[in-house]
């Protein structure tokens, strides 16, 4: 198989995170810095720990991904970003109360040196937060230009060869796709005319990233880059984009359990999901507008996997309910509870109950690491537009009108590894041998 021409991962790779002081971002950065000092293990990261089978099974070639795929080295990563609060990442990590103080102290100096840039913020898009470290601009276009300048300055000041930009900030309120989102020309016009109802802060970052030739990762369910205008711009600029909404706790389980039901042809009557969460994300999602955005993301999983139009007798009348409840005592320790009402042989009912006591940022941090390394790899491979091979990491995988998203975790995993095999010139694997 012909090997894809991959540009060398030389020099520094800048990682600019929107919401850099949040629980997910600070946990990701602190953990990565600790790992590269030999003071932590990158559990949950495919790029650092997973192996990849090459060739026939009897060849017994199972190297680690990082040993055969040309990824950027952790020592070459430089962190920065934007936040609506001015505290440095050491202070932010303590404030988040995710990691133990001793785990934060081991990289204190490096964390203190990461100070957020002022953020693009609009209270109407995140009702429960009150930003104090924010940019001023007359239009969304002007704010976007300020972000572009930030990217250029960061790249120059930190001597970075390349930059990847990631959204890890709070979920914005739900906005439906509008005519202005359907072409690049109408989208740019709306930005310049400051149409604040349909041009969100996250869109300013995404446009700026693509304009600067930087891969963009959308880790929240915001509309953001999930529009024809952004797809057009990404293809025009030859920039890799991916999203949306990190797949961490409850939805990760759904992408495993729903395929099990379908594979065994078991029926489904109802699926009730509820979460309690006490961090900043939980507070934001307590607002109905932001919850609506998350709800749409979470609800999309089951229908896509189960194909109710193909199997109406099994999945044609499923009652699916999702709830998120803000509960401050839990902080970042989320609990996801699922009640699943199944139907078996001759219509007899069964139940499956799952209680997942997880840590939101602990699950998200390794996803962030993998995504920035893979997004950089995609860009160096010359891949542009939507990176469907990274669907493995997202609740609501981005796709255009011509494609149906794949939600099955194991199919997503196979697609990811087969893409890596293609990149290094190895045969893809269908597991029939």
What is the residue extent of each domain of the chain? 12-246+362-423, 250-359
Q: Are 335 and 276 in contact (CB under 8 A)?
A: yes
Residues 6+ apart with CB under 8 A from 339: 270, 271, 272, 351, 353
- Element spanning 240, H or E: strand 240-243
CA–CA gap between residue 402 and residue 399 (Å, rounded): 8
The tens place of each residue's pLDDT in the chain, 433 residues long, gives 566 899 999 999 999 999 999 999 999 999 999 999 999 999 999 999 999 999 998 999 999 999 999 999 999 999 999 999 999 999 999 999 999 999 999 999 999 999 999 999 999 999 888 999 999 999 999 999 999 999 999 999 999 999 999 999 998 999 999 999 999 999 999 999 999 999 999 999 999 999 999 999 999 999 999 999 999 999 999 999 999 999 988 889 999 999 999 999 999 999 999 999 887 777 777 777 777 876 776 677 888 899 999 999 999 999 999 998 999 998 888 899 999 999 999 999 999 999 999 998 999 999 999 999 999 999 999 999 999 999 999 999 998 888 888 889 999 999 999 999 999 999 999 876 6
Q: Which residue, among 231, 261, 264, has the nearest Cα to 403 in the 3D structure?
A: 231
CA–CA gap between residue 227 and residue 176 (Å, rounded): 10
Model pLDDT, residue 284: 77
CA–CA gap between residue 9 and residue 416 (Å, rounded): 20
* pTM for the structure as a whole: 0.94
Rg of the Cα atoms in the chain: 21
The bridge status of strand 333-343 relative to strand 385-386 is unpaired
Of the CATH numbers 2.40.110.10, 3.40.50.1970, 3.30.360.10, 3.30.70.360, which one belongs to the domain with range 250-359? 3.30.360.10
Model pLDDT, residue 128: 84
Question: Could you give the C-alpha distances from 292 to 289, 296, 299, in angstroms and in order?
Answer: 5, 6, 10
Q: Which residue, among 268, 324, 304, 315, has the nearest Cα to 409 in the 3D structure?
A: 304
Angle ∠(297,270,267) on CA atoms, nearest 5:
110
Question: Could you give the C-alpha distances from 308 to 239, 325, 402, in angstroms and in order?
Answer: 35, 29, 20
Number of C-alpha atoms within 13 angstroms, CB side, residue 416?
24
Model pLDDT, residue 250: 87
What is the phi/psi pair of residue 305, to 5°? -75, -45
Query: Counting beta carbons within 10 angstroms of the beta carbon of residue 347, is it exposed (0 to 12), middle (13 to 18) or buried (19 or more)?
Result: exposed
Angle ∠(35,66,82) on CA atoms, nearest 5:
55
Q: Which residue has the tokens 């991959």?
A: 6
CA–CA gap between residue 104 and residue 245 (Å, rounded): 26
Q: Is the peptide bond before 162 cis (omega within 30 degrees of 0)?
A: no
Could you report how far apart the first and last alpha carbons of the chain are, in Å? 18
The bridge status of strand 267-277 relative to strand 333-343 is antiparallel
Per DSSP, 183 falls in state S
Class at the top of the CATH hierarchy for domain 12-246+362-423: alpha beta
Q: Report the phi/psi class of residue 81: left, alpha or beta, with left for phi > 0 and alpha for psi in -120 to 50.
A: left
CA–CA gap between residue 415 and residue 321 (Å, rounded): 30
């Amino acid at each position: 198989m012909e090997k894809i021409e991959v540009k060398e991962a030389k020099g520094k790779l800048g990682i600019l995170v929107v919401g850099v002081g949040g629980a997910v971002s600070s946990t990701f950065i602190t953990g990565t810095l600790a790992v590269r000092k030999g003071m932590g293990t990158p559990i949950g990261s495919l790029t650092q720990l997973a192996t990849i089978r090459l060739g026939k099974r009897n060849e017994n070639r199972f190297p680690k991904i990082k040993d055969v795929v040309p990824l950027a080295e952790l020592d070459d990563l430089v962190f920065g970003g934007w936040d609506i609060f001015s505290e440095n990442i050491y202070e932010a990590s303590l404030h988040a109360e995710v990691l133990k103080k001793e785990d934060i102290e081991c990289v204190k100096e490096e964390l203190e040196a990461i100070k957020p840039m002022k953020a693009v913020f609009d209270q109407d898009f995140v009702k429960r937060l009150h930003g104090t470290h924010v940019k001023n601009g007359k239009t969304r276009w002007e704010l976007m230009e300020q972000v572009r300048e930030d990217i250029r300055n960061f790249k120059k000041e930190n001597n970075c060869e390349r930059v990847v930009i990631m959204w890890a900030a709070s979920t914005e309120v739900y906005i439906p796709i509008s005519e202005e989102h359907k072409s690049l020309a109408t989208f740019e016009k709306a930005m310049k005319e400051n149409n604040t109802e349909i041009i969100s802060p996250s869109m300013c970052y995404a446009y700026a990233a693509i304009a600067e030739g930087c891969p963009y990762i959308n880790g929240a369910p915001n509309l953001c880059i999930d529009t024809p205008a952004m797809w057009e711009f990404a293809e025009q600029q030859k920039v890799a984009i991916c999203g949306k909404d990190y797949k961490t706790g409850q939805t990760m389980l759904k992408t495993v359990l729903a395929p099990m039901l379908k594979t065994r042809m078991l029926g489904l009557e109802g699926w009730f999901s509820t979460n309690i969460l006490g961090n900043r994300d939980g507070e934001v999602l307590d607002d109905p507008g932001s919850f609506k955005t998350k709800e749409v993301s979470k609800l999309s999983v089951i229908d896509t996997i189960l194909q109710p139009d193909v199997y109406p007798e099994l999945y044609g009348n499923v009652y699916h309910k999702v709830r998120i409840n803000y509960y401050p005592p839990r902080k970042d320790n989320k609990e996801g509870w699922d009640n699943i009402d199944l139907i078996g042989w001759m219509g007899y009912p069964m139940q499956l109950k799952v209680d997942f006591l997880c840590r939101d940022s602990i699950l998200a941090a390794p996803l962030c690491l993998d995504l920035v390394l893979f997004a950089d790899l995609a860009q160096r491979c010359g891949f542009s537009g939507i990176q469907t091979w990274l669907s493995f990491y997202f609740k609501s995988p981005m796709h255009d009108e011509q494609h149906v998203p794949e939600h099955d975790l194991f199919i997503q995993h196979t697609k990811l590894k087969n893409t890596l095999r293609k990149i290094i010139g190895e045969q893809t694997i269908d597991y029939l041998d």
